Structure 1
Amino acid sequence: MNTQAMLSLRGLRKSFGDVDIIRGVDLDLVSGERHALIGPNGAGKSTLFHLISGRLPLSKGEILLNGEPIHGLSPQSINHRGLARSFQITNIFAGLTVFENLRLAVMRRHGLQYTLWKFAHKVRAVRDETQHLLEQVRLAGRAQTIAGELSYSEQRSLEIAMTLASDPKVIMLDEPMAGMSQEETDYTAGLIREIAQGRTLLIVEHDMDVVFSLSDRISVLVYGEIVATGTPDEIRNNARVKEAYLGEEVTV
């Protein structure tokens, strides 16, 4: 694995009025690693994702992507620089086909989002990339299916494909297995392993079996502070992590 930091968080703080939500987070994600962020409900995980992806402004600190500052930029600018994220709730156009959803995402990357639909099919690069991404997330056979008719796990696969459409260096996935059956979880975890090849992955996930089997390293966020970072074995045996999860349904 490359030891270069692809994503660096330096002294991140976020306050809403007098309430401190993120309290001095420092973290380096090594290029090519799969890194999980875990913590009790209300720990600030989603807020941290919003800060990194530009959906919320920092109160203090800096965020570096491949050594370049990205804090203060718009989500679109951050995405253009190589960071893409998915959300807890699926973010697709339910009335369009799978192919049309993904084609829109690919068109944005090529600056063709305002191209008239009747000309879009003529752009070979867009069509070829769309088809390749469908194959990559195992949805090629569902290309002409209305997205709203997909199973929940298939909708998440489509959203992951749309995340990949910008060809990001860093992928952030926010609870991709939430609400899934065990079979769907196993399928999606396998898919994430495949699409993360050659990329840096930051994932928030509550399924500890997935976290420990998927991650190279894990960071634990408690009340806006990272209390531990380490390998799965190190985190599993960390007394402070166990204490942080007392009273939670999930134990480590």
Structure 2
Amino acid sequence: MSHDILTLTDVRKSFGDAQIIRGVNLKVHAGERHAVIGPNGAGKSTLFHLMSGSFAPTSGDISLQSRPIGGLAPERINRLGLARSFQITNVFPRLSVRENLRLAVLRMHGLVYNFWRPIARNRAVNEDVDRLLEKVRLAGKQDTAAGDLNYSEQRSLEIGMTLASRPRVILLDEPMAGMSQHEVDYTVELIKDVTRDCTLLIVEHDMQVVFSLADRISVLVYGEILATGTPADIRSDARVREAYLGEETV
């Protein structure tokens, strides 16, 4: 039986008088692919900000592997095993694919660029970069400027940079946004492959992607979890259909 690797207990977040997250309780099982869905304005990105440390909760508890992380700095949370990829591609466009991955790996090794000790000669760093290039299927593009990659390749690169810290939990925020169907199909298979040995929590609007990728789904509506269950559970939940999915997805 899977244990819970990420737990939110009565988590709330307000900005002034505006209550965005209203007492969320969520348990993410170790090794599962868990999707969070909901209409625009439901609070999905705010929830990710809380889990990854960009925001501190107004109240409630967030735990990673039973260790409280609510309110910790993003860098601290990352070192504890949680990494996040954002909605907007976050790569250095003028640097090559390899150089982007090298910078991410350097952070993982606690290294900084030193003019007198060329990082390119660091064997451990290079081995990690090579591993990531293969994992995200960009070995053939290692010398290409990141800005010259197509959109799905840029997202693949960003996922590779997220994997550099060897996280136990990965948060992906709308990774399919703006992709063609061919790019979506490619990225779904990539995500399945790279998250085989870790836990995935994903926010995604494409319901075909959600139902094909997720082991379990949580529906967030107006800052509250309306339902959590398997894709079959969520498809058949009348409350979810009324609040979000609509009859056409059933």
TM-score by length of 1: 0.96
5+ residue gaps, structure 1, are none
Say if 1:79 and 1:124 are closer, same or farther in 2 by CA, change over 3 A.
Answer: same
What's the secondary structure of 1:126's corresponding residue?
Answer: helix
Distance 2:63 2:26 in 1: 11
Say if 1:117 and 1:146 are closer, same or farther in 2 by CA, change over 3 A.
Answer: farther
The RMSD of aligned alpha carbons is: 1.4
Q: Report the counterpart of residue 70 of structure 1 in structure 2.
A: 69
- The CA deviation string for residues 16-49 of structure 1, in whole angstroms up to 9 with x for no partner, is 1111000000011000000000000100000000
Q: Report the counterpart of residue 44 of structure 1 in structure 2.
A: 43
CA contact 1:245–1:251 (8 Å) conserved in 2: no
Say if 1:125 and 1:214 are closer, same or farther in 2 by CA, change over 3 A.
Answer: same
Distance 1:3 1:180 in 2: 33
Tell me, yes or no, if structure 1 residue 87 matches structure 2 residue 86: yes
What amino acid is aligned across from residue 60 of structure 2 in structure 1? G
Q: Report the counterpart of residue 229 of structure 2 in structure 1.
A: 230
Q: Report the counterpart of residue 186 of structure 2 in structure 1.
A: 187
Q: Map 1:1-252 to 2 at 5 A.
A: 2-116=1-115, 119-245=118-244, 251-252=249-250
5+ residue gaps, structure 2, are none
- The CA deviation string for residues 155-197 of structure 1, in whole angstroms up to 9 with x for no partner, is 0000000000000000000000000000000000000000111
Distance 1:201 1:220 in 2: 16
Distance 2:139 2:60 in 1: 43
What amino acid is aligned across from residue 177 of structure 2 in structure 1? A
What's the secondary structure of 1:202's corresponding residue?
Answer: strand
What's the secondary structure of 1:73's corresponding residue?
Answer: coil
Say if 1:89 and 1:197 are closer, same or farther in 2 by CA, change over 3 A.
Answer: same
Distance 2:177 2:14 in 1: 27
Say if 1:90 and 1:39 are closer, same or farther in 2 by CA, change over 3 A.
Answer: same
What's the secondary structure of 1:162's corresponding residue?
Answer: helix
Cα shift at 1:113: 2.4
Distance 2:121 2:183 in 1: 36
What amino acid is aligned across from residue 198 of structure 1 in structure 2? D
What's the secondary structure of 2:197's corresponding residue?
Answer: coil
| Matched length | 250
Cα shift at 1:116: 3.2
Identity %: 64
Distance 1:183 1:212 in 2: 17
Cα shift at 1:122: 1.4
Say if 1:74 and 1:117 are closer, same or farther in 2 by CA, change over 3 A.
Answer: farther
CA contact 2:96–2:146 (8 Å) conserved in 1: yes
Distance 1:250 1:133 in 2: 39
Distance 2:9 2:155 in 1: 31
Cα shift at 1:114: 3.8
Distance 1:42 1:249 in 2: 21
Cα shift at 1:72: 1.7
Distance 2:195 2:9 in 1: 24
Cα shift at 1:3: 1.3
CA contact 1:208–1:250 (8 Å) conserved in 2: no
What's the secondary structure of 2:22's corresponding residue?
Answer: strand
Distance 2:57 2:221 in 1: 19
What's the secondary structure of 1:72's corresponding residue?
Answer: coil
